[in-house]
Copies of this chain bind each other. A is one copy, B any other.
Amino acid sequence: MNRYPNQTRILVATDCIIFGFDGEELKLLLIKRHFEPEIGKWSLMGGFLKEEEDLEAGAKRILNDLTGLSNIYVEQLGAFGKVDRDPAERTLSVAFFALINIHDHDQEAVRAHNAHWISLKNKPALIFDHDDMVSLALEHLRYNAALHPIGFELLPEAFTIPQLQKLYEAIYDMQLDRRNFSRKILSTGLLIDTGSKNMSAPTKKAIMYCLDKEKYQRKFYAFWNFMPGQGK
């Protein structure tokens, strides 16, 4: 029952752009390849899609292989389909964008894959079109972190406002006014005071908050001000 006999079939892979945040800098989880092809060079974590595997399932399998985590925040970034993007054989790659808490993964699995957390500012050149994928992912992160709760996926469940501010400053590579940032964030009503404080701080202990995810979903379009009565 092959209705499409004369068409070309090609390899389909997925590659994952994995962001983390160490409290100071935005980092990428990259592989120093100790296998062919392109052995010795840096690349994103990736793999081929299996015969009976959905696309998203393939991405989650690859992320689980590398990090040991199964509840990672993943979004599809898009398909990369240039004819010669892989010199060995035509391969269409669907890139996935993942955000993880950098302190919360299987270090042993990461070592086994020869993977390393590399600061975005020190990113080496990557194989194939992986540099393009990273550029697009960063753009996507900057574009969406201001509008949607995705930035919070890079932080622990509970966090302080100064930590959140440092994350935003890292994502957008710019300094923010502490007082205006705090007021603006709190005025959204999206943060819930957990009642505890950040005891690991050397000076004044900051209040720890968590995200009101349900409320964030309801406010999905609140940013957009062409339509009256939609905000806040």
A residues apposed to B, CB below 8 Å: 1-4, 7-12, 36-37, 48-56, 58, 76, 78-83, 88-92, 94, 143, 146-147, 168, 172, 174, 176-177, 180-181, 184, 221, 223-228
Contact = CB atoms under 8 A, between A and B. Distances in A.
Nearest to A151: B226
A52 B9 contact: no
A79 B50 contact: no
A37 B227 contact: no
B2 A172 contact: no
Contact of A50 (B8, B9, B91): B8
A92 to B, nearest CB: 6
Contacts of A3: 36-37, 88-89
Contacts of A227: 146, 172, 174, 176
B146 A228 contact: no
A89 B90 CA distance: 20
Nearest to A6: B48
B52 A81 contact: no
B82 A79 contact: no
Contacts of A88: 1-4
A56 B79 CA distance: 10
A37 B227 CA distance: 42
A92 B225 CA distance: 37
A146 B224 contact: yes
Contacts of A83: 52-54
Nearest to A47: B7
| Across the A-B interface, the 7 shortest Cβ-Cβ residue pairs | A55-B81, A9-B9, A3-B88, A79-B79, A8-B51, A146-B226, A7-B48
Given A53-B83, A172-B227, A12 B92 contact: yes
